[in-house]
Amino acid sequence: MTAEFFVIGEPLEGESPTNMKVDAARQTWFAVRSHRSFTSIEVRKYEDIDGYSELVIVDCECDRIPPNNAPRIEYRERFALCFSNKVNRPPEVRALRTGFPLTPHQNHVLNGAPSSLCLYFEPWPVIARTWTPQKHLERILWWLEQTALEQLHRSDQPVEQLYFSAPKELVLPHDFDEKVNNKEFRLALEFRPDRGNNRQTIVGLMQRSVDAVSDQVLNTSCIALRLNSVIQGRIEHFPRNLGELSDTLDARGAPFIKELFAEIRQRVEGNLLKVNNIKTILILNVPLLKEAGSDIARFDNKAYFLPISLEEIGLKGGVLDKYENQYLLRHNLGIQVEPTDAWRSVELEPIDILQPFTPEYARQTSGILSSGPKGVLAGVGALGSEIFNLWSRSGWGEWTLIDPDHVKPHNLARHTAFDQFVGHNKADVVRYLDEALWGSTGSKTRAIPKSATDFDSTEVIDALKNAALVIDVTTTLDYPREHASQDDFPRGISVFLTPSGNGCALLAENACRSVRLDGVESQYYRGILNQAWGEAHLDGNKSYLWTGGGCRDLSTVISGELVALHAGNLSRQIRHASENPAAAIKVWHYDPESGAVATDALFVHPVLKYNINGLSVVWDDGLRSKVRELRLQALPSETGGVLLGYFDLTQKNVYIVDVLPAPSDSQGDTSGFSRGIEGLANTISEVQRRTANIVGYLGEWHSHPPGSTAAASSADVLQLAHLGIELHRDGLPALMLIVGEQDERWHFAAVKED
């Protein structure tokens, strides 16, 4: 059969390139002459109100076109390569075969005009900067190949399961039950490598019918049918052939043969299909009811492998005819013809159906009931990336990842990244890996490669404010304190490893945020100072790795095993903490010798604040009870001691962690108190060591005798002034707490610079 072609324009006088006026056309003519896939036919010209164009008419033979592809792209196609004399107009490629199919990625043309291929996605001014005739010809070949393979558009994938022990197994797409009855969609197949003995996994994908991959390419056609609802009953024996399968389902009220032949007719209608050796996969989707009239309990999916093509089944069923090695519809001049029985003997082979990996299935597999919050994970380094990996694989939460750092080679020892990601932002890498995990099921994870404290970023602020929960794994003091300062942020939970890697901690705000992360942090330090486990809790790792030449290029040496150990524990503990509205402080300690992990928890007291001279004193009800108890024990005499804590001058806060009682050489009676110094220097040194130099001396506290208020006496004012001068050496103010009969007052002293 000879192809018919459109004719555009008129011949250019003399086919020599010297007669061509458009430089791009002349260069392309030479490029065609040296390209093995293109043959020049002639050069033509075309003039209209838009200007003058020259056309290089070519035949293109693309070896990469699969035979009998669904879009009907042929191995040899004829094109007009059109070039305008106006530099702002892109080159155009017109398909001259009159039967050229209407495919995706074509430009709009007038009715009856040759199809125009849409080759480029970017604007022409961008393309023009690197455009060459040789690249243009290769782009045409790429378009033909991708269109024939139907890969210019992307699609969806996985969900639902069943059993049978069969060599082949099929993973149904997650949206199969939803779309199987929608004729706009078709189940496409991806064949994974044969594992031997005909054992193979096939992954299904619901594609729009116009985009589905050609059966010829796969050498297998797939047909999926939604049947009538049936009431759950006995388990049937596996049918040996199509006839037995039909009888079984007919008896259950779910006939399918007429639907099967109707589908075959629809696929063949308007086409002449060549005889082929394509096999068939038949999938039946059966809604199951617990009892008559009830709602659908679930969908039962059965899959079968048939050793012949759909067209051959249609031929056996009497809905198709075969003529000159082609299949075509049988036309019976309006006479209704029942299918023949030849189809009944077509043998069946079972295919195991596997449930796709979905968030619901992940939670079911992991024993998690809650779908989790819409949250922010601030920090996706070694610990954060591993925690997220565990949450994602268990289907818990919908996360926005925020981290400004990028992957460096040494990170690969502990991070979930791979070598190919070195130099990429950690947040983007973790999101990419999550997309690879979920495939066409789709990942809802977002990535923001910025600092979580970049409150000038609308993207960061919106993510934090719109979340239901923020998990801080930045392993810094910076973010949790900034988070605590924001009234419109959601609840925050902070987790981190200790410097040695043998311990970890979880600090959680309460749900109403009356106790915030900064107040929880100061109580955590009090636990370190007063609990036996605190003695070595923050001891540093003595091993360091220089990762570069700068003084900041230092990385603590911690085994990836320890990161994984604590990540597994913390990922679960964060889930539990998020479901408990109370604030929390929990610490864990790993014994390297035995492998045992011990845990301790601290009660979190309500936080108290006292504002003086623009400075907020942050302490808590537990600490207030402690100083009142020390006063009570000393009555009728006065007593006192030292205040321990730290400043955060960025937030203009001072955090009171603990108070020390009166040293043994102190003197106190009903008229006053004089603090001694016995053992105090060693005690404060130990405080600093235990807290990694975060907590230190802040000032003094003392009590007043019975019947007295917490107002400062003249002696108190003098002592406070002296403290102010002493602490001014470090540029810090001095604090004094006075505990009276019924009240407590904070006093503040600072040296003013002239």
Residue 541 DSSP code: P
Walking along the chain (754 residues) 10 residues at a time, the average pLDDT comes out as: 81 77 94 94 86 93 91 94 90 94 76 84 86 96 92 43 56 84 81 82 83 60 83 60 87 86 81 72 84 80 87 87 80 58 88 88 91 97 96 96 96 94 97 92 94 96 97 93 96 95 96 97 97 92 45 64 96 97 97 95 97 92 97 96 94 96 94 93 95 93 94 86 78 89 89 60
HEC string of 278-332 equals CEEEEEEEEEEECCCCCCEEEEEEEEEEECCCHHHHHHHCCCEEEECCEEEECCC
- Ordered by where they begin, the domains of the chain are 10-148 (3.10.110), 168-354 (no CATH), 361-602 (3.40.50.720), 609-749 (3.40.140.10)
- The amino acid sitting at 551 is C
Q: What is the pLDDT of residue 350?
A: 83
Q: What is the pLDDT of residue 232?
A: 64
> What are the strands of the beta sheet with 653-660, ordered from one edge?
607-612, 615-620, 653-660, 640-648, 696-703, 734-739, 744-749
Q: What is the pLDDT of residue 340?
A: 74
- Residues across the chain: 754
Q: What is the pLDDT of residue 156?
A: 34
Place of tokens 């503040």: 748
**b/e map 37-53, b = 16+ CB within 10 Å:** bbebbebbbbeeeeeeb
**b/e map 222-234, b = 16+ CB within 10 Å:** bbbbbbebbeeee
Reported pTM: 0.69
Dist CA 631 CA 635 (whole Å): 6
3-class DSSP state of 77: strand
Among candidate residues 470, 521, 475, the one with its CA nearest the CA of residue 498: 475
